[in-house]
Amino acid sequence: MNFKMKKILPLSGLALGFLLALPDSALAQTITLQQAVQMSLNADPRIKEREQLVESARAVLEEVQGNDGWRLNANLFLGLAPAVSGGFYQGGATSGTTPRTDGPLPGGVSDWTSLQIALIKPLFTFGKIRHYSAAAQGNIDVKRGDVRISKADTVLDVKRAYYGYLTARDSRRLLEDVDKRVDSALERVNRNLKDDNGESKQSDLYALQTAKGLLGKYLSQARSIENISLDGLKVLTGAGLNADLQVADDSLTPVALPKTPLPELQSQALTERPEMSQLEAGLRARRALVAAKKAEMYPDVYAGIVGQANYASRRDRLNNPYLYDPFNNAGVTPVVGVKWDIKLGVVPAQIAHEQAELEALNFKNQYAQAGIPFQVSEAYHQMQANYQGQQDLAQGAAAARRWMISSLADFSAGLERADKVGDALKAYATMQADYLRTVNDYNMNVAQLQRAVGDSN
């Protein structure tokens, strides 16, 4: 006993170490629908793109608000100061001094360094900064709405892939079961024809072969859709195409029917849909832009400090209050001023442009007020129809299965023809496939209804 334990324990430790050393992609991962949704919301690059656009819009707001702060305008350059003609006169005679020191530069020119600086802060802009800030904030809210829309689209895509995979997998299992039953019937017919006992005819063989060919086509399609849906789920969740991803649900089942009345759902959509929030934010932004463009007709009141300094190394500085040398001086002063920067022919056109954009958005809002309740109504009625349809098909599929089983039993007893068995098999496969497809449609109708009312689950 002890010897066996000593043998088992090292092997168990080795296996555990091997499993821990495997990369994540080598381990199977089983996920539920909610886990798939959460993984996709965290991994979808389309959502991350929208989030970065929100950050970009937020930077625009910071830029606009920054215009209310201090502004520095400085200009430093190096040039040449020309030679000075004449000199100073005292009593009608030349004094013998000039404001220049002799130097080696040709033509008597001097190097000239000039610095001009202005430090300004707006005091009053007649609402320009306030209105542009409001417009930028509205743009941020619009971009946030895009993030919500992108997330809702991702949730819908995940549910479509998840339910589609379950539908295709269950359809494939169904068709494989029917195909095995056809193979069993074919084996019996071939045996009867070989024995020439009269229980089967050549037409029975052809009937069953025809049914098998049709089943083979549908089976190939189901496998293809199953693989495509699973690959789509891998991409959406960020697991990667090479990941071993599995779903937790054993089979496709209809989700619970929402009990909320249609009028309440329509009212919810008008308050919860991200598009409605976007319209409200867009209207705020457009109104602010109209007001901002109108404010462009007014000046800016400002205060600050302006100054300049000039230096020419070959010129002597003049210490004379009555003489001014622009190439060799310095000065700074506080200022209060009013600045106009009005494009008289452009601003009215800009105002008209923003006003037209505002009116267009008003009409879009009117359309949304009527269109969104219709979208909710459409999704609601489609959901109700497919809910009733999948219930009816469930009963029909159960009856078709009983027909198939009884036909196969009668065929085995020699009481039923093969073409009738083929009809029963075809009817069962068709009814069960329609049932699965309708359940998938119903589940997606529920998801689309949730999307239409602004429910992010």
Whole-model pTM: value is 0.80
Q: Is 313 in the same domain as 433?
A: no
Q: Give 267's pLDDT tier (boundaries 50, 70, 90).
A: very high
| Average pLDDT score over residue span 38-50 | 93
What does the block give as tokens for 317? 């500085």
Q: Is 402 in the same domain as 258?
A: yes
pLDDT at res. 7: 41
CATH number for the domain harbouring residue 120: 2.20.200
Q: Give 16's pLDDT tier (boundaries 50, 70, 90).
A: very low
Q: Give 21's pLDDT tier (boundaries 50, 70, 90).
A: very low
| Average pLDDT score over residue span 259-265 | 93
pLDDT in tens, 362-405: 998 898 998 999 999 999 999 999 999 999 999 988 898 898 88
Is the pLDDT at 22 greater than 60? The verdict is: no
Q: Is 290 in the same domain as 330?
A: no
Q: Is 62 in the same domain as 92?
A: no
Q: Are 215 and 182 in contact (CB under 8 A)?
A: yes
Q: Which of 10, 122, 1 is nearest to 68 (CA)?
A: 122
Q: Is 376 in the same domain as 354?
A: yes
pLDDT at res. 27: 60
Q: Is 80 in the same domain as 185?
A: no
Task: Please tell me the distance from the alpha carbon of residue 31 to that of residue 245, in angstroms, as a whole number.
Answer: 8
Q: Is 365 in the same domain as 421?
A: yes
pLDDT at res. 430: 86
Q: Is 284 in the same domain as 406?
A: yes
Is the pLDDT at 240 greater than 50? The verdict is: yes
3-state secondary structure the chain: CHHHHHHHHHHHHHHHHHHHHCCHHHCCEEECHHHHHHHHHHHCHHHHHHHHHHHHHHHHHHHHHHCCCCEEEEEEEEEEECCCCCCCEECCEECCCCCCCCCCCHHHCEEEEEEEEEEEEEEECCCHHHHHHHHHHHHHHHHHHHHHHHHHHHHHHHHHHHHHHHHHHHHHHHHHHHHHHHHHHHHHHHHHHHHCCCCCCHHHHHHHHHHHHHHHHHHHHHHHHHHHHHHHHHHHHCCCCCCCEEECCCCCCCCCCCCCCHHHHHHHHHHHCHHHHHHHHHHHHHHHHHHHHHHCCCCEEEEEEEEEEEEECCCCCCCCCCCCCCCCEEEEEEEEEEECCCCCCCHHHHHHHHHHHHHHHHHHHHHHHHHHHHHHHHHHHHHHHHHHHHHHHHHHHHHHHHHHHHHHHHHHCCCCCHHHHHHHHHHHHHHHHHHHHHHHHHHHHHHHHHHHHCCCC
Q: Is 261 in the same domain as 310?
A: no
| Average pLDDT score over residue span 189-209 | 78
Return the higher-pLDDT residue of 26 and 71: 71
Number of domains present in the structure of the chain: 2
Return the higher-pLDDT residue of 236 and 28: 236
CATH number for the domain harbouring residue 204: 1.20.1600.10
For the chain, how big is the Rg over CA atoms in Å? 41
Q: Is 80 in the same domain as 213?
A: no
Return the higher-pLDDT residue of 426 and 169: 169
pLDDT at res. 5: 41
Is the pLDDT at 77 greater than 70? The verdict is: yes
| Average pLDDT score over residue span 50-66 | 94
Answer yes or no: is 12 within a domain. no
CB-based contacts of 416, cutoff 8 Å, min separation 6: 407, 410
Q: Is 110 in the same domain as 237?
A: no
Residue 315's domain comprises: 70-124+300-339
